[in-house]
Structure 1
Amino acid sequence: MLSPALMAQTVAADAPVSPAVTKLVEDFAKGAKLQSEGLKLDLPVLGDNPASVPVKVSVTLPISERSYCEELIVIAESNPQPLASTFHFTPYMGTAEAAIRLRLIASQNIRALARMSDGKVLTARQFIEVAPGSCGL
């Protein structure tokens, strides 16, 4: 039997996506097929302070001069402005990872996308349940 947190995560992963989020993803992917491996999204299952939710994103593929992350974005799918952050990288950085804190309006999916220099677009998506008490909840 699944825990309530895992059940919520499973249900939320299938939740409908707003047209604004769909457009963000399509514009970022530029026609490339999204790959679900190679990008790690790390955030808590429960955000006890929705005004400051820690999120870490990292590309797990090897970074080289020929294959590196050019751009990475984080999307808070249910926030009024879904695009939460954008990061740009070069092959000389040696790694592609970012840590941020998000303000979330409600429980929702957080999505990260990374565009690699070889044309691959990596994606990761995770649901977070936020505790009421901030951001107008």
Structure 2
Amino acid sequence: MLHHTSRRSLVLGAAALALPVAALAQQSSATGAKAPLVGPLAPNPAEFKKQVDQFTGSATPVADGLQLDVPALADNPSAVPVKVKVTAPITEQDWCEEIIVLAELNPSPLTCRLHFTALTGTAEAAVRVRLSQTQTIHALARMKSGKVLVAKQAVTVAASGCGM
């Protein structure tokens, strides 16, 4: 029988096995008990806000012109496919300069940063990101004109077989 002690160790009969706090949080969630995630795997809302604020600057993000395609259920949280495409018109005067993808509840929210030039002709990419838990994925695109496009989508992370 498994149970927690106040010393943050896992007791197996008469033997005790010390586990990292993150492993205890995973074990607690597997048994249905809620343990707060702390340490290096904890969400970092301040860093998420900082990344969004730095990218948008003084621009007000527009929820039109950016397409985000992420599966609703991520069966492999180590490699979740994410596709981002600017659907707004791209011209010689106004093109997408940069796209970022953020995982809101990851300890390090910035999952990728993509740069484009006027010669690219289109602004789209497909990447795989690692997710620490069920959360919302955000994509932001900055156009040459300064306009910022935004899209977001919720993703449910299924527990993997290796206990992630």
TM over 0.5: yes
Q: 3-state DSSP class of the match of 2:90?
A: coil
Q: Distance in 1 between matches of 2:145 and 2:161?
A: 41
Selected match of 2:145 from 115, 118, 122:
118
Q: 3-state DSSP class of the match of 2:92?
A: coil
Q: Distance in 1 between matches of 2:162 and 2:119?
A: 38
Shift in alpha-carbon separation, 1:116–1:50, aligned structure 2, 3 A: same
Residue of structure 2 in register with 1:5 after alignment = none
Shift in alpha-carbon separation, 1:111–1:68, aligned structure 2, 3 A: same
Aligned residues: CA RMSD = 1.5
Q: 3-state DSSP class of the match of 1:37?
A: coil
Q: Which has the larger radius of gyration?
A: 2
Residues 1-137 of structure 1 aligned to structure 2 (within 5 Å): 18-133=45-160, 137=164
Contact kept in structure 1, 2:75 and 2:157, CA below 8 Å: yes
- Aligned residue-pair number: 121
Listed one character per residue, the Cα deviations across residues 24-79 of structure 1 (whole Å, up to 9, x for unaligned) are: 11100111001000000001000011111100000001111101000100001111
Q: Relative contact order: is structure 1 or structure 2 higher (C-alpha 8 Å, sep ≥ 6)?
A: 1
5+ long unaligned stretches in structure 2: 1-43
Q: Distance in 2 between matches of 1:134 and 1:24?
A: 32
Tell me the TM-score normalised to structure 1 length.
0.84
Contact kept in structure 1, 2:75 and 2:160, CA below 8 Å: no
Q: Counterpart amino acid of 1:35? A: V
Shift in alpha-carbon separation, 1:65–1:102, aligned structure 2, 3 A: same
Q: 3-state DSSP class of the match of 1:51?
A: coil
Displacement, 1:18?
Answer: 1.5
Contact kept in structure 1, 2:105 and 2:133, CA below 8 Å: yes
Listed one character per residue, the Cα deviations across residues 55-112 of structure 1 (whole Å, up to 9, x for unaligned) are: 0000001111101000100001111110000000011111000100011110010000
Q: Which moved more, 1:35-44 or 1:126-135?
A: 126-135
% identical aligned pairs: 52
Q: Distance in 2 between matches of 1:132 and 1:78?
A: 16
